[in-house]
Amino acid sequence: MSEFVTGTTFGGTVWTPNYVTALNAKTCIACGRCFKVCPRDVFNLVDKEDLEEDFDDDYADFDDDDDNSMVMILKNAADCIGCEACSKVCPKNCFTHQHKAI
């Protein structure tokens, strides 16, 4: 049985953070909701063209007819506190989260 990093809420309830580990840029609509709710500067809005040039294999099948030329990426995933606010506001379920084992 794995033990995970836990914390305690102000009210004394034990809480297990669920850290963001991935963001599916192919389904992201760049609405900016995750960026706005994140208290830790984990995300960055970038131009899809920049991603296509740097990561041809990962982003080669972006839809060229898409009107949205921007996409959200993980800027600093190591700074995530595991609150899952990003997932709660994402209309496209772009996020993958994971508990951190001790």
∠ Cα 3 87 52 (to 5°): 110
Domains of the chain: 22-96 (3.30.70.20)
Helices (H) and strands (E) in the chain, counts: 4, 6
Residue 23: Cβ within 10 Å count: 23
Let me know how long the chain is. Answer: 102
Residue 50's pLDDT is what? 82
pTM for this prediction = 0.80
* Side-chain-side CA neighbours of residue 65 (13 Å): 0
Which pLDDT band, with edges at 50, 70 and 90, does 54 fall under?
A: low
Between 51 and 101, where is the model more confident?
Answer: 101
Residue with token string 């496209």:
92
Which pLDDT band, with edges at 50, 70 and 90, does 2 fall under?
A: confident
Three-class DSSP category at 101: strand
- The answer to whether residue 91 scores a pLDDT higher than 80 is yes
Query: For residue 12, what are the contacts with CB-CB under 8 A and spacing of at least 6?
Result: none
Residue with token string 């709710």:
37
Residue 51's pLDDT is what? 76
Judge contact between 47 and 62, C-beta under 8 A. Answer: no
**Arithmetic mean of pLDDT, 61-65:** 53
Residue 1's pLDDT is what? 61
